Chains A and B, each alone.
Chain A
Amino acid sequence: MNCKDQDVFSGGLLILFALPGYFCAAQIENLKVSKLSGAFFPDVCFTVMLVCGLILIRQGLQREEKIPLPSINWPKLLPVVGVLIAYVLIMEYVGFIISTMAFMLCCMYAFGVRRKKILLSVPIITAFGVYYLFGKAFMIVLPGLSDLGMFQ
């Protein structure tokens, strides 16, 4: 028995997701007025996931040669995920332009850009370009500094 197989792992993951799913679905209030409750359809989906999970595990165990788990290069991946999350979080507080410039700078740095000219010019062009494209052409006002409460 080798748990390292990709299919066995995926199947296990599906089952691990479906079981608490049933539990959450059971918490959904059942209205007396309708004959089919809101939990009915999610339960169907979780059952499908459960069955697929079992099939995958069987398939993975029966197969002679195992498919190895994918290798994930966490040191390269996590910084990018981190700046993405930070970007959305700070945008709410400092507005679109500042957060975008900061994000572009950090993200390009994480992607390995080291040329100062690019690191400085691209964020400024992107931030102002997108801000005015959305504001003027799309008529969508992106969060600005005034939402901070600075002018209140």
Chain B
Amino acid sequence: MKNIKSNKSIGRMLAGGVLFAMLAGYGSQSLAADFPTRPINLIVPYAAGGSSDLSARPYAEELGNILKQPVVVMNKPGAGGAIGAAEVARAKGNGYTLLNASIGNITIAPYTSNVGYDHTALRAVAQMTDIPLALTVKADSSFKNLKEFVEYAKKNPGKIRYGSPGAGNIQHVTTEGWMKDIGIKLTHMPFAGANPAIAALLGGHVEATVTGVTEAAPHHKSGALRILGITSPARIDMVDAPTFKEQGYDLQAGVWYGVMAPASTPDDVVNALAAALKKTYDSPKVQSAWKKLFLIPSYLGPAEFGARVKKEAAVNEQVLKDIGLHKK
């Protein structure tokens, strides 16, 4: 009985493709062959309705269809995503508990407070979306481009107040890092989320905001606000705004969302998931849902995604040390 089963497993594995078989071959108990046999829990470490949740829901359903097992979205919010992420980091690495990870809870939270995990406790499966940040001012502001903004900031240190979605968020940390790089000083005004920050900008209670481009784009389009720069390597379709790079500032950052699994998850399971996620990613239904939500689809496989996480974790840890937010 046992023999028959494992023969079947090997057969399916070979069918899975050369690369897949090569990676899956060694040692591990060919879990992937039958994977998944029961529903998969996808932990969203933020409240339902937030951008992490909205990024996950469209693909969770499609992933379930592809894997022929339901993918159940579970919201476990709190502590800037650390509670949900910590739970996945502690879970058994069998592919049935996954995390809709994002840049904040993986590359920042572990360094600002004792959350009981860091990015090495999880392994990257696939990046699904990537949203550049946007530096935004009011449409009637005198700053027409980044250069004017920076020049004013240089002459008037601390005069410009910028709103962010919260202290210790990627938007805050990235801006502080950038300020240090180019030698300007802005006053930080943290809000409880991007929308309140945008509202404060519209009302003139802050001079600028740094948020994901998702939240700023609708107001840029309507003409109420002006995006001075976005942090993507090149311009994006979603919004007609210049990048930092083309204006001569070397700042690249983005809020990514992707799937991560506990570090102990075997390679074959990770690869099976990554393959299914790629199919999900390519589905027109999922793509159009993301685009409508102003989320920018951007797929990275396990290796590239893992490398990105590692690199950004190191960068952010350094910035946190520089600005005094690193945990003692």
A–B contact at 8 Å CB threshold (below): yes
In the bound complex, do residue A152 and residue B92 qualify as a contact, i.e. CB atoms below 8 Å apart?
yes
Q: Is A76 an interface residue (CB 8 A)?
A: no
Which residue of A is nearest B70, CB measured? A141
Size category of the A interface is under 10
Q: Is the CB of A31 within 8 A of B38?
A: no
The chain B residue with its CB closest to the CB of A31 is: B324
Cα–Cα distance between A141 and B328 once the two chains are bound (Å): 39
Q: Is the CB of A33 within 8 A of B92?
A: no
- B164 contacts the other chain (CB 8 A): no
Interface centre among A29, A32, A33, A152 (most CB of B within 10 A): A33
Within the complex, which residue of A32, A141, A146, A149 is in contact with B324, where a contact is CB–CB below 8 Å? A32
- Smallest Cβ-Cβ distance to B188: which chain A residue: A33
B94 near A29: Cβ-Cβ < 8 Å:
no
| Chain A-chain B contacts (Cβ-Cβ < 8 Å), number | 16
How many residues on B have C-beta within 8 angstroms of the other chain's C-beta atoms? 12
User: Is A74's CB within 8 Å of the partner chain B?
Assistant: no
Pair B188/A146 contact, Cβ less than 8 Å: no
Q: A146-B38, A151-B38 are in contact. Are A31 and B325 (CB under 8 A)?
A: yes
Q: Which residues of the other chain, B, contact A29 by a CB distance below 8 angstroms?
A: 328
Which B269-328 residues sit within 8 Å CB-CB of chain A?
323-325, 328
Q: Which residues of B contact A32 (CB under 8 A)?
A: 324
Interface residues of A (CB under 8 A from B): 29, 31-33, 141, 146, 149, 151-152
Q: List 16 A-B contacts (CB under 8 A).
A: A29-B328, A31-B324, A31-B325, A32-B324, A33-B188, A33-B323, A33-B324, A141-B72, A141-B74, A146-B38, A146-B39, A149-B92, A151-B38, A152-B92, A152-B94, A152-B96
